[in-house]
Amino acid sequence: VKLDLDRAEDTIVVPSDAVVDRDDIQIVYIVEDDRAVERQVQTGLDTGDRVQIVSGISEGDKVIVEGQQYVSHGVTVKVVRGE
């Protein structure tokens, strides 16, 4: 049995649910100055529950991982639980 494994180091990984597909464009919302900011991202490896972000956001960006389907660019958001 041969098993091919993919491995990525020094990469950004977010929950798969944080990535919103809109018109074949992948979007992640981040929080800047208490506002939702839409960022187009390019994804890489996907484990099903986590996905690699190749470009579009940076390390340290606060990614919205709950309720992202209900926000839009520029709306005021309140972080209720941050990790």
d(CA 9, CA 52): 10
Q: Is the pLDDT of residue 3 over 70?
A: no
CB-CB contact of 19 with 64 (8 Å): no
Question: What residues does 50 pair with on adjacent strands?
Answer: 15
Report pLDDT digits (tens) over 32-64.
Answer: 999 999 999 999 999 889 999 999 999 999 999
pLDDT at 30 over 80: yes
pTM of the shown model: 0.84
Q: Which of 69, 77, 60, 72 is nearest to 18 (CA)?
A: 69
Count of helix runs (H) and strand runs (E) in the chain: 0, 7
